[in-house]
Chain A
Amino acid sequence: MYMPLSRRIILLVRSRVKALTLTVLAIGIIQLPNLVSGDPTLLAEGFRDIFLFLCLVLPLIFASGGVSADFRSGMARLWLQKPIDPVRFYLSRFSEGFLVSLVCALLALGATRLGTAALGQPDETSQLLGYLAYVLTVACVVFGFSSWIARGSTLVVIGFLGASAAARGMGVTDLLGRPWNWLFDAILVPIPAVRGFRDFVVGTSDAFWIPSAQILAYGIGWTALGALGVWYTVNKGRLPHAEQS
């Protein structure tokens, strides 16, 4: 391997350091009241909220642009002139972004655990572990959008995540009747399934398979949509014009 995975991951992380730092700073500022309160309980809550935010934001930082930036810049034409399958190529790129997001989330989890332990607060690691499912779901959504939308896909994903949370909060999936309820439930981020998975990890629920299957199906659905987007964009003349003569 003349461009080993480790080198690609180092370049990916280095190229996103600025975005990551700004994100952590922004989350830190939002959580400032908790962090400066001096109350160990509020401080621990602040750490936990930062971790939750990171689970949602890390895939946006590391997985976004993996496809759309290549399409936009013309790099896709450079890579895809080689004897490779475009869908497999971009799936592997997506996997790298997801892997880095997951490792960063695990590091953040470790830091949260150390922070709460230093404050003498109860260990919530198992509960937080359940939220790692968000890393998978958000990464898959990012891939799904990024392969269809060449410009501004990250903003679209942020809008979609916000709309999902708002719609779930308003109970949209119970309001409209079939088949709309079912459709919305399938499209919106599966927050109830992630909570169900977390409850199983914590030990307050026995249900493992149903929430896990829902999260996996959701991830597979968005990944398949992303793969279809790559195939369609590359083979049906939708690669943006990087040059013209």
Chain B
Amino acid sequence: MATPPADIVVDGASISYRRAFRRRRVLSRISMTALAGEITAIVGPNGAGKTTLFRAVLGFLPVEAGRCLVGGLPPMEYRQRKGIAYQPETIDFPGLWNARDVLGCGVDLSGISKDDQRDAYRKAISRTRFDAATLLRPARRYSKGMKRRLSLAFALIGEPAVVLLDEPFAGLDPPARHALRAEITSARNRGATVVLASHELGEVERLANRAFILEDGTIRPGPALSPGDAPVDTILEAEFKGDGE
């Protein structure tokens, strides 16, 4: 089921939003690389452009200068061929759809062979850690944390080689955080390219192999991280405050 590893290369990319006749540049000539088998973190203040960067990597937003490649292909092409796991920060599930409907649709859309679909569906259901009653409740009535668990389970169907997580720890209780850490580490261990955008510096330091600081539309590499044994909220917090420069 797993697809071959795919690095993400962003090289001198500039990205703007166009509204009516105005153009607003959000990211300016940024360069970064996220390697397969590693967890790359993007940290930065609100509105820094982390989601914008994800949208470009997903191929939903064109890069106006420079280039952005996923697995050596333009993002839109890669996404349509292999799929990119993406957990958005917020989501409104449709009408009366419950978790089983959403995940069932995910299995149908993921291009998984018929033989593997049953396992993929079961795995996705177990990833949510919902009880039977919750699985049948309309997903739009879930709490924020439950919606995030569902969207993560949906994203990971088919074990995509590229995993983008936007503020994955927001709204999660401690057991859910623990489970999420395990999912992220497991994705890295199977060779996926994991990129997470987060404000939670402690989690970033605990998990990430490398970090980038996104601020004022530009990006710079963060300090070297040693996942697993880093002290919580220290190295990156200093970078965030500008003390690291």
Spell out A's residues near B (CB within 8 Å).
Answer: 1-3, 7, 11, 14-15, 69-70, 73-75, 77-86, 89, 234-237, 239, 242-245
Contact = CB atoms under 8 A, between A and B. Distances in A.
Given A2-B121, A84-B80, A245 B89 contact: yes
Interface of B: 17-18, 46-48, 50-52, 55, 58-62, 76, 79-86, 88-97, 101, 103-111, 117, 121, 151, 154-155, 157-158, 166-167, 197
A69 B55 contact: no
A165 B117 CA distance: 50
Contacts of B81: 83
Contacts of B91: 73-75, 78, 242
Nearest to B3: A83
Nearest to B44: A245
A82 B111 contact: yes
A83 B88 contact: no
Contacts of A11: 95-97, 101
A237 B62 contact: yes
Contact of A242 (B90, B97, B110, B155): B90
Given A14-B96, A242-B90, A82 B110 contact: yes
B62 A235 contact: yes
A65 to B, nearest CB: 9
Given A7-B101, A83-B83, A237-B17, A75 B93 contact: yes
Ranked 3 nearest A-B pairs via Cβ: A2-B104, A15-B95, A3-B104
B168 to A, nearest CB: 11
Nearest to B157: A82
Given A235-B59, A237-B55, A82 B93 contact: no
Contacts of B17: 237
B165 to A, nearest CB: 11
B47 A81 contact: no
B101 to A, nearest CB: 6
A244 B58 CA distance: 15
Nearest to B56: A237
- Of residues B84, B94, B96, B157, which shows the largest number of chain A Cβ atoms within 10 Å of its Cβ? B94
A203 B105 CA distance: 46
Contacts of A75: 91-94
A82 B109 contact: yes
B89 A243 contact: yes
Contacts of A235: 59-60, 62, 76
B66 to A, nearest CB: 15
A69 B94 contact: yes
17 contacts: A2-B103, A2-B107, A3-B108, A15-B96, A73-B94, A75-B94, A79-B105, A81-B79, A82-B157, A83-B82, A84-B80, A84-B111, A235-B59, A236-B62, A239-B55, A243-B51, A243-B88
A77 B18 CA distance: 19
Contact of A81 (B85, B93, B105, B167): B85
Contact of B60 (A1, A14, A239): A239
Given A74-B88, A242-B90, 11 more contacts: A2-B103, A11-B95, A14-B96, A15-B94, A15-B96, A75-B92, A80-B60, A243-B166, A244-B52, A245-B50, A245-B197
